[in-house]
Chains A and B, each alone.
Chain A
Amino acid sequence: MTASLIGFGAVLVLVLLRMPIAFAMGLVGLLGFMMETNWRAAISMAGRLVIDTAQDYGLSIVPLFILMGLFVNKGGISRELYQVSNAFLGHMKGGLAMATIVACGGFAAISGSSLATAATMSKVAMPEMRKYGYSDSLSTASIAAGGTLGILIPPSVILVIYGLLTETSIGQLFIAGIVPGALGILLYMVAVQLSIWRNPAAGPAGPRTDWPERIAALKGVWAVLLLFFLVIGGLYGVLDVWPIYLTFSPTEAAGMGAMGAFLIAVFRGRLSLKDIREVLTETTLTTASLFAVLIGAWIFSNFVNIAGLPEALRSLVADMGLSPWMVMAMILAIYILLGMVFESLSMLLLTVPIFFPLVTSLGFDPVWFGIVVVVVVEISLITPPVGLNVFILRGVVGDVSTGTIFRGVTPFWLMDIVRLAILLAAPGVVLFLPSMM
């Protein structure tokens, strides 16, 4: 227990000194493992993990989903998504902000990353909201918050990594994310209304779009619908009917999605050779950085594992006579605190190896816990002082202060807490869809 805690502290210090997370976790894990065994054992363990992680078939899902998101983006789908939701919602008070939320949700259905969702939507939605006189605070906040949906609505790189770290079914995790994701969209729309109610000038109504135009706009998003249907439908056997009989595993769904996005972008004439090269390069670099972190996390997790931390935590909880829900409340409080300073992936990688064995031993469902973790991780993206989505917005928009965005985000943050409370009070919200599959 002591060794693990010192190790955890050492990782924190190194990470704050800006050592890459992969190296901080790998180094501390290596040294810790060495203390428990010897140098040859530790370095051999690390070497084997490098070899095996790099060649893990299941991990090929990571680059494929990243690739899909980037191809989709090159295909110009984000703009069309926004146009459609705007056609239906724009005429209401705060309508453009609500349209932003819905478009973020739609983009999340094909992108695995929250940062990508926020960055993409800010380029599309921000100019529109400015044009119609929306306050900077509300417009940036709705994009920053809406962007967090990227990792809950499938596909999701964070859920994939949680699934890989804990050997939880990625298919189940994906489907479990759908309802909480939809709930997130609804609650964020409530947050928009709250903002308008506090300051009616923040989000005036936009022009009304008539039905023929709405129908015309819908045609622009056939590609998104098709891709989502292909990926999710194939994954859950919806396409296993005459005459197609398509079914696939999550990894294959990622491959089909990437290929589909590629073909759609090519078909629309929006993909030059240079674009393809850029997308491939960006994907490989992102993949390599994620793998580095995964390997580091694995080495660290082997150290706390062999140092007996899971067992020690279990007996600590038993000795203190804590009920499972009290433990869960403490864990979530720790997440919210960590969420103030850490970004999503680092937080997940640092904590899951420590908390997961404890949580499952207390009888919590691994799929449910995965979704709850992702929701708290989402919250971290918009929690001050370090909220990555807020920073992304600040970077893309330029002339808005971080403080303004954080202020605008407050109602959205509160709605996130409401959603978390709902998921805790009614685990069925998460679990009923996967249990039907």
Chain B
Amino acid sequence: MTAILQIFRQALWIPVALASVGLFALMVLTFADVVMRSAFNAPIEAATELIRIAMAIIVFSALPMLGWRDEHISVDLLDGVFQRLRLARIRDGVIQIVCGVILFFPADRIVDLAERARSFGDLTEYLAIPTFYVAWFIAIMTFAAAAVMVLRGLVTLFRPSLLSEFSNK
């Protein structure tokens, strides 16, 4: 079990690495676009659509890791109360599972929307990249994030000891 979790946790870094590369590319692309435009009056026409794709990669590659680390923005106002009542762990586990389950629905819908875009032949303006690739990527990463959150919730509820072994830091 521990070994599987170990591999799983390492695997979560792969999309994060992808997101980091995407982010660096985004920075360089924005910079290059401005420089090309200002110095040579030749902006990179495809910059906008590449930036849009980079954004999707950045946001959705990081989503599973965010779920696993339980780092979604939340309000911990009543943490003290829950801890006193010894309900904090149960609450966290249940909420994580609920959130994971919620995510399956839009993910599933995004697959339909992606396929619809494919059937209509939607393309990006300059590079004519089919838009359904990006939508499929978003769907897959959302599914992954959903699965990770459910898993994390189950671990929190039933094997909390594993969590401390794999503390976030």
B159 at the interface (CB under 8 A from A): no
* Inter-subunit contact A64/B34 (CB<8 Å): no
The residues of B that contact A43 with a CB separation of less than 8 Å are: 105-106, 109
Q: Is A8 an interface residue (CB 8 A)?
A: no
* B142 proximal to A (CB < 8 A): yes
Within 8 A of A (CB), among B1-43: 16, 19-20, 22-24, 26-31, 33-34, 38
Q: Is A341 an interface residue (CB 8 A)?
A: yes
Minimum CB–CB distance for B11 against chain A, Å? 15
Chain B CB within 8 A of A96 CB: no
Question: Is A60 in contact with chain B by the CB < 8 A criterion?
Answer: yes
- Residues of chain A with a CB closer than 8 A to B23's CB: 63, 67, 280, 283-284, 287
Closest to B60 in A: A54
Q: Does A1 contact B (CB under 8 A)?
A: no
| Residue pair A56, B74 in contact (C-beta under 8 Å) | no
Cross-chain contact A19 with B74 (CB below 8 angstroms):
yes
Min distance, Cβ B118 to any Cβ of chain A, angstroms: 13
User: In the complex, what residue of chain B is closest to A39 when comparing beta carbons?
Assistant: B105
Report the Cα distance A23→B95, complex, angstroms: 10
Candidates A21, A56, A285, A346; contact of B66 at CB < 8 Å = A285
Kindly report which residue of chain B lies nearest to residue A285, judged by CB atoms.
B62
Q: How far is the CA of A16 from the CA of B72 in the complex (A)?
A: 14
> Contacts A50-B142, A245-B38: A18 and B30 contacting too (C-beta < 8 A)?
no
CB of A28 to closest CB in B, whole Å:
11
The chain B residue sitting closest to A386, CB to CB, is: B77
Q: Say how far A212's CB is from chain B's closest CB, in angstroms.
A: 38
Cβ-defined partner of A252 (8 Å) among B16, B33, B138: B33
Cβ–Cβ < 8 Å partners of A20 in chain B: 72-74, 95, 99
> What interface size band does chain A fall in?
35 or more
Which B-chain residue is minimally distant from A259 (CB atoms)? B31
Q: How far is the CA of A311 from the CA of B120 in the complex (A)?
A: 37
Q: Quick one: given A21-B73, A51-B135, A285-B71, are A57 and B52 in contact (CB under 8 Å)?
A: yes
On chain A, the residues within 8 Å of B138 by CB distance are: 50-51, 54
Closest CB of chain A to B147's CB: distance in Å?
A: 15
Contact of B30 with A252 in the complex, beta carbons under 8 Å: yes
The number of chain B residues touching the other chain, given as a range, is: 35 or more
Q: Specify which chain A residues have a CB less than 8 angstroms from the CB of B113 in the assembled complex.
A: 44, 47-48, 51
Q: A284, B58: Cβ atoms under 8 Å?
A: yes
Taken together as a complex, chains A and B put the C-alpha atoms of A255 and B4 apart, in Å, by 40
**Chain B residues within 8 Å of A262, by CB:** 27
Q: Of B56, B138, B142, which is in contact with the most chain A CB atoms at under 10 Å from its CB?
A: B56
A256 within 8 A of B: yes
B38 near A244 (CB under 8 angstroms)? yes
Residues of A within 8 A of B98 (CB): 19, 23
- Residues of A within 8 Å of B56, CB to CB, are 54-55
Q: Is B140 an interface residue (CB 8 A)?
A: no
How far, in Å, is B77 (CB) from chain A's closest CB? 6
Q: Which partner residue on chain B sits nearest A14 by CB separation?
A: B95
Distance in Å: Cβ of A25 to nearest Cβ of chain B = 11
A30 to B54, CA, bound (A): 27
Task: Show 23 A/B contacts (Cβ-Cβ < 8 Å), sorted by A.
Answer: A17-B95, A18-B75, A22-B73, A43-B105, A46-B109, A47-B113, A50-B110, A51-B138, A55-B55, A57-B52, A59-B55, A60-B26, A63-B26, A64-B26, A254-B30, A255-B26, A280-B23, A281-B19, A284-B22, A285-B65, A288-B63, A289-B71, A292-B73
Query: Measuring CB to CB, which residues of chain A are less than 8 angstroms from any residue of chain B?
Result: 15-23, 26-27, 30, 43-44, 46-48, 50-51, 54-57, 59-60, 63-64, 67, 244-248, 251-252, 254-256, 258-259, 262, 277, 280-281, 283-285, 287-293, 341-343, 345-346, 386
